[in-house]
Amino acid sequence: MAAVQNEIFAAGLRKTPTDKATIMAAYIDPEDRIQCVVAEDDDGRILGFQSLRLAKVGNPWDVAEGWGIIGTHVSPLAARRGVGSALFKDTLRAAREFGLRSIDASIGADNMLGQAYYEAMGFQTYRTPNGLVCKAFYL
């Protein structure tokens, strides 16, 4: 998963590189994690991943308590191959099973690819704080 984020960084689409420990802390181990789904190719190479967390009071994204918080990371080497759509299908199932009613995607205002992806998945802009475009998906 770190390799995916570092490929995104190398393509100039992420501000900082990452490592395994950061990935574990942010996506695998947090207590508010609902799911983290991974897409792989036939050789087991990770093409992308998507995390879904439960927003709690005081979360760093200022998302309303009880909402889901989604993060999507797809390698530029796997772009436009349906990876993001496949990830969201599984994440949406998990969100429904968990009983979420809304999901937030907080995207950098300069990340046009990310904004287009979430719009294609059915998210709508609902707020724009400090250099972010926050999109909501209502279940």
Find tokens 């990452």 and name the residue: 18
Q: How far is CA 122 from CA 9, 31, 139, in A?
A: 26, 27, 10
Number of domains in the chain: 1
The residue among 5, 129, 123 whose CA lies nearest residue 72 is 5
* Distance in angstroms (rounded) separating the CA atoms of residues 94 and 107: 21
| Nearest partner of 125 among 99, 105, 97, 100, judged by Cα | 105
The answer, yes or no, to whether residue 4 has pLDDT greater than 90, is no
Report CA Rg, the chain.
14
Instruction: CATH number of the domain at 129, please.
Output: 3.40.630.30
Among candidate residues 34, 61, 32, 31, the one with its CA nearest the CA of residue 50: 34
Average pLDDT over residues 106-119: 94
Tens of pLDDT, residues 85-100 = 999 999 999 999 999 9
Per-residue model confidence as pLDDT tens digits over 58-76 = 999 999 999 999 999 999 8
- Note down the domain range covering 124: 2-138
